[in-house]
């Protein structure tokens, strides 16, 4: 093999550009880089970024070549920092060759990059790495045919065993070729590309690729250097005209058409022997994202969640903790222990109607903890199994209909974990429009794990019809508001690329540790809030303000929502956290003060509240106080209006629960 | 720390959700900046550390029994 990095064997330096390794994440690119360079590697941040780029030297066919290892990317045309760095290296350093490292088990992913390299007019060699794993799974790739279609050398490697390096060195030594793979788009887009190319500076390298990126809406400032403002305006006008032909964002359409071209190639060269190799997890993983078969999977997951959290957590465990532990022992012990206190006000503060023990601790430990404990356990199982990214793929389809595309799905699904965190995750979105839209939807209709657990637990007791109505109202609201927001808020959407980890059996140690850590966090964060909320209610009641607030809110709570006046207290608590308000409503229902319809209406209202005070603070931090107040100012009245409409409709139709 | 899902290595400062979150003081969960996956920062959770310790003791005891038999 003539492919090594020891100084002794290095000959005269090459006159061409570097050899650049490009590939998807986790395909063994860095292992290959290590094998090629061996020593003399420098790792530094790419200028102006936090992305690390490694450079080393290798001897290829007696020439000393600089080898550059770029960050793993799924697309060269996406707007992320890693993608930009890789793109800049390819455009500015004009490599003598690119080694496109593919995971042979997932060839189509690499072919997307191959199509983009072809568009960028960069010569490359395709390396089918992890070839052994692919063969073990019964995957056959016709390398000769693939080489013929692409017009470049295709070699097989197993980097972890240093296999195939001779073939790679040979391919690099034999002057890598430009690919003839040309992803063609439909007539309108091709015409748009032609028009944009005509406007680009003459002699621009990779002009077609730049034109595609401009049409897709990516910032290609370097390529546009020297272009007049008028040219930039004309490009924008072409893009706008073209966008008017499609319902989906143009970047998404271009990506889909490129993927289609890639699929056609994969269909010809890629086959899997049936019954060989593919593990059950692989089959289940594919089922979970299938447009039709994936739906029963989602429903089955939700049903199991409902049974575990709603029936077991909120039923069996809460009955035991509230009825037996607190009802028979803790509350009585607390009453006995405080009997000696002479001041009635202090006694009431501890064990009265709004007492720290009888209300705050009872709610927090006897009702909320078992419900969120079971929910956290279920959520950790889902997370560790790799199902959540697949759920993102499933919900991406309906989300597209409301103008919410791509990466927006990730924070929406993560919102099921914690809305406050998910609000921050909206930073990964490209446009302010999407960020604001997702933040609004998160605050309005995506309950976090704790809130979902409590609300599911409570509503589970009302029966399947109530669960369906609650879920229907919530989903309808989510879609209606999302759709309207996408029309009202200015800006454009972005594309969706979701890396899917393998589906696997959850590791018990991970699940236990995560569940315990989340429960600890919840106890630390929420119990103090419960105590503060209870103390506030106690104070309001002592000064007589509670009854006045109830009277003031009476037209809304009693008139519009059809609830008893006491429910006002729970909505007040809901301003601190939705689940605190929900658990108060749960308590009212258990005392027989709410019938099933009233429970349903009140839970719909509390689910649509702003999630918690921390979430409000996060919106202030991310968007400023004015936007945060506007979001909350929209959400709270909106929640009451939806609840009121549900109440009036259910009564008018005389729907029984 | 290393993301359990995508293998990306990141520091506490790079974690997407934690440093800027108003609740970060008590929150032991950090999010991978690449994929958003939530990972527990065990050093910040007493219960998580305890669970790991118990698990390690259990495994040690099991191995000891195996050797003895």
**Could you tell me which of A202, A5, A24 has the C-alpha nearest to residue A103?**
A24
A124 — pLDDT class (breaks 50, 70, 90): very high
Euclidean distance between the first and the last CA atom of chain A, given in angstroms as a whole number = 76
pLDDT score recorded for residue A647: 93
Residues of chain B contacting A369 with CB distance shorter than 8 Å: none
Residues of chain A contacting B15 with CB distance shorter than 8 Å: none
What's phi and psi for A161, nearest 5 deg?
A: -115, 10
Least confident range from A193-197, A342-346, A446-450, A532-536: namely: A446-450
- Residue A561 predicted with pLDDT over 90: yes
pLDDT score recorded for residue A5: 42
Mean pLDDT (chain A, rounded): 81
What's phi and psi for A152, nearest 5 deg?
A: -135, 165
- Residue A237 predicted with pLDDT over 80: yes
**What is the average per-residue pLDDT within A453-460?**
77
If you classify domain A3-173 with CATH, what class do you get? alpha beta
Q: Are A129 and A157 in contact (CB under 8 A)?
A: yes
Residue A270 β-bridge partners: A141
**What is the average per-residue pLDDT within A224-238?**
75
pLDDT score recorded for residue A582: 86
Look-up: residue for tokens 């229902």? A589
Q: Where are the domains of chain A?
A: 3-173, 187-273, 295-653
- Residue A40 predicted with pLDDT over 60: no
pLDDT score recorded for residue A22: 93
Say if the Cβ atoms of A516 and B51 lie within 8 Å: yes
Look up residue A352 and give its two tokens: 């009265």
- Of the two residues A30 and A273, the one the predictor is more confident about is A30
Instruction: Give the angle A365-A369-A373 at the CA atoms, nearest 5°.
Output: 155
Distance from CA of B69 to the nearest CA of A (A): 26
pLDDT score recorded for residue A128: 94
Of B31, B34, B40, the CB nearest to A421: B31
Beta strands in A104-245 (DSSP E): 124-129, 139-141, 154-156
Residues of chain A contacting B48 with CB distance shorter than 8 Å: 513-514, 516-517, 520
Within a 10 A sphere around the Cβ of A50, how many other Cβ atoms? 11
Please enumerate in sequence order all residues whose Cβ is within 8 A of that of A204, keeping only pairs 6 or more positions apart, or say none: A210, A223
B44: containing domain: 1-69
pLDDT score recorded for residue A497: 54
pLDDT score recorded for residue B9: 67
Distance from CA of B63 to the nearest CA of A (A): 17
Per-residue DSSP letter, A292: T
**What is the average per-residue pLDDT within A431-458?**
79
Say if the Cβ atoms of A510 and B55 lie within 8 Å: no
Residues of chain B contacting A513 with CB distance shorter than 8 Å: 40, 42, 45, 48, 51-52
pLDDT score recorded for residue A562: 93
CA distance A387 to A266: 26
Write down the pTM of the prediction.
Answer: 0.61
- Residue A145 predicted with pLDDT over 70: yes
pLDDT score recorded for residue A20: 92
CA distance A579 to A355: 19
| Helix or strand (DSSP H, E) at A514 | helix A508-542
pLDDT score recorded for residue A306: 75
pLDDT score recorded for residue A421: 66
**Could you tell me which of A338, A335, A495 has the C-alpha nearest to residue A410?**
A495
- Residue A424 predicted with pLDDT over 80: no
- Residue A8 predicted with pLDDT over 50: no
**What is the average per-residue pLDDT within A421-449?**
76
pLDDT score recorded for residue A126: 94
Say if the Cβ atoms of B29 and A517 lie within 8 Å: yes
Say if the Cβ atoms of B40 and A513 lie within 8 Å: yes
Please report the DSSP string for A570-621 in residue order.
Answer: HHHHHTTBHHHHHHHHHHHHHTT-S-HHHHHHHHHHHHTS--BHHHHHHHHH
pLDDT digits (tens, 9 = 90+) for A253-288: 888 888 888 888 888 888 877 655 556 777 788 888
pLDDT score recorded for residue A605: 92
Q: Is A497 on the interface with B (CB under 8 A)?
A: no
**What is the average per-residue pLDDT within A509-514?**
84
Least confident range from A261-265, A394-398, A487-491, B37-41: namely: A487-491
pLDDT digits (tens, 9 = 90+) for A632-644: 898 889 999 999 9
pLDDT score recorded for residue A36: 86
**How many inter-chain contacts (A to B, CB under 8 Å) are there?**
98
CA distance A467 to A453: 13
Q: Is A414 on the interface with B (CB under 8 A)?
A: yes
Within a 10 A sphere around the Cβ of A228, how many other Cβ atoms? 10
A157 — pLDDT class (breaks 50, 70, 90): very high
**What is the average per-residue pLDDT within A167-185?**
82
| Chosen from B11, B14, B23 to mutate, greatest number of chain A CBs within 10 A | B23
CA distance A423 to A415: 8
Look up residue A314 and give its two tokens: 């909120």
Look-up: residue for tokens 């000769």? A144
pLDDT digits (tens, 9 = 90+) for A45-54: 555 555 677 8
**What is the average per-residue pLDDT within A459-470?**
84
CA distance B65 to B69: 6
CATH architecture of A187-273: Orthogonal Bundle (1.10)
A234 — pLDDT class (breaks 50, 70, 90): confident
Nearest CA in chain B to A50: B14
**Could you tell me which of A511, A490, A499, A496 has the C-alpha nearest to residue A434?**
A490
What's phi and psi for A77, nearest 5 deg?
A: -110, 10
The percentage of chain A sitting over the pLDDT mark of 90, rounded to a whole number, equals 11
- Residue A448 predicted with pLDDT over 50: yes
CA distance A257 to A239: 17
- Residue A290 predicted with pLDDT over 60: yes
Residues of chain A contacting B42 with CB distance shorter than 8 Å: 513, 517
CA distance A391 to B1: 26
pLDDT score recorded for residue B34: 64
């Amino acid at each position: 093999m003539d492919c090594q990095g020891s100084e002794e064997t290095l000959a005269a330096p090459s006159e061409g550009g570097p050899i650049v390794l490009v590939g998807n994440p986790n395909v063994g690119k860095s292992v290959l880089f290590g094998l090629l360079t061996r020593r003399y590697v420098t790792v530094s941040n790419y200028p102006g970024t936090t992305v690390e780029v490694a450079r080393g030297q290798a001897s290829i066919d007696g020439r000393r070549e600089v080898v550059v290892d770029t960050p793993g990317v799924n697309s060269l045309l996406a707007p992320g920092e890693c993608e930009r760095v890789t793109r800049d290296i390819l455009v500015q350093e004009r490599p003598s060759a690119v080694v496109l490292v593919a995971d042979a088990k997932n060839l189509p992913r690499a072919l997307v990059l191959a199509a983009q390299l072809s568009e960028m007019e960069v010569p490359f060699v395709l390396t089918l790495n992890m070839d052994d794993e692919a063969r073990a799974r019964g995957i056959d790739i016709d390398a000769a045919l693939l080489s013929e279609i692409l017009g470049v050398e295709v070699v097989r490697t197993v980097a972890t065993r240093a296999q195939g390096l001779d073939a790679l060195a040979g391919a690099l030594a034999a002057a890598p070729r430009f690919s003839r793979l040309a992803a063609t788009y439909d007539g309108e887009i091709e015409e748009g590309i032609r028009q944009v190319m005509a406007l680009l500076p003459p002699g621009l390298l990779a002009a077609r690729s730049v034109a595609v990126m401009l049409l897709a809406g990516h910032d290609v400032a370097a390529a546009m250097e020297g272009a007049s403002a008028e040219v930039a305006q004309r490009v924008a006008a072409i893009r706008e005209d073209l966008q008017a032909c499609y319902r989906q964002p143009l970047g998404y359409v271009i990506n889909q058409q490129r993927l289609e071209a890639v699929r056609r190639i994969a269909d010809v060269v890629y086959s899997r022997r049936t019954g060989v190799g593919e593990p059950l997890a692989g089959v289940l993983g594919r089922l979970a994202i299938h447009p039709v078969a994936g739906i029963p999977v989602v429903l089955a997951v939700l049903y199991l969640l409902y049974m575990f959290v709603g029936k077991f957590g909120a039923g069996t465990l809460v009955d035991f903790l509230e009825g037996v532990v607190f009802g028979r022992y803790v509350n009585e012990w607390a009453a006995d222990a405080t009997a000696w206190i002479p001041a009635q006000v202090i006694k009431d503060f501890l064990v009265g109607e709004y007492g720290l023990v009888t209300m705050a601790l009872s709610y927090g430990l006897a009702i909320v903890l078992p419900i969120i404990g079971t929910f956290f356990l279920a959520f950790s199982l889902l997370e560790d199994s790799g199902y959540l990214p697949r759920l993102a793929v499933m919900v991406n389809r309906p989300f597209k209909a409301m103008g919410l595309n791509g990466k927006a799905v990730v924070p929406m699904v993560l919102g099921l974990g914690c809305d406050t965190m998910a609000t921050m995750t909206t930073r990964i979105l490209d446009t302010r429009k999407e960020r604001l839209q997702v933040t609004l939807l998160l605050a309005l209709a995506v309950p976090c794990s704790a809130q979902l657990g409590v609300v599911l637990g409570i509503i589970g007791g009302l029966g399947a019809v109530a669960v369906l109505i609650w879920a229907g109202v919530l989903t309808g609201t989510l879609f209606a508001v999302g759709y309207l927001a996408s029309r009202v808020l200015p800006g454009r959407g972005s594309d969706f690329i979701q890396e899917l980890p393998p589906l696997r059996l959850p590791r018990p140690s991970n699940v236990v540790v995560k569940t315990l850590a989340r429960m600890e966090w919840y106890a630390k964060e929420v119990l103090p809030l419960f105590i503060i909320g209870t103390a506030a209610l106690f104070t309001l009641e002592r000064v007589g303000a509670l009854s006045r607030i109830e009277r003031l809110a009476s037209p809304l709570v009693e008139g519009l929502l059809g609830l008893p006046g006491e429910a006002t207290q729970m909505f007040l608590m809901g301003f601190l956290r939705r689940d605190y308000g929900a658990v108060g409503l749960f308590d009212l229902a258990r005392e027989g003060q709410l019938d099933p319809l009233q429970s349903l209406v009140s839970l719909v209202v509390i689910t649509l509240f702003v999630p918690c005070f921390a979430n409000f603070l996060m919106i202030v931090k991310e968007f400023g106080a004015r936007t945060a107040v506007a979001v909350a100012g929209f959400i709270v009245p909106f929640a009451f209006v939806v609840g009121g409409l549900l109440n009036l409709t259910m009564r008018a139709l005389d729907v029984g629960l | 720390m290393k993301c359990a899902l995508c293998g990306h290595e990141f520091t506490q400062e790079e974690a997407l959700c934690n440093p800027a979150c108003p609740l970060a003081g008590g929150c032991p969960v950090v999010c991978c900046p690449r994929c958003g996956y939530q990972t527990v920062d065990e050093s910040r959770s007493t219960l998580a550390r305890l669970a790991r310790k118990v698990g390690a003791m259990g495994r040690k005891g099991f191995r000891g029994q195996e050797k003895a038999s």
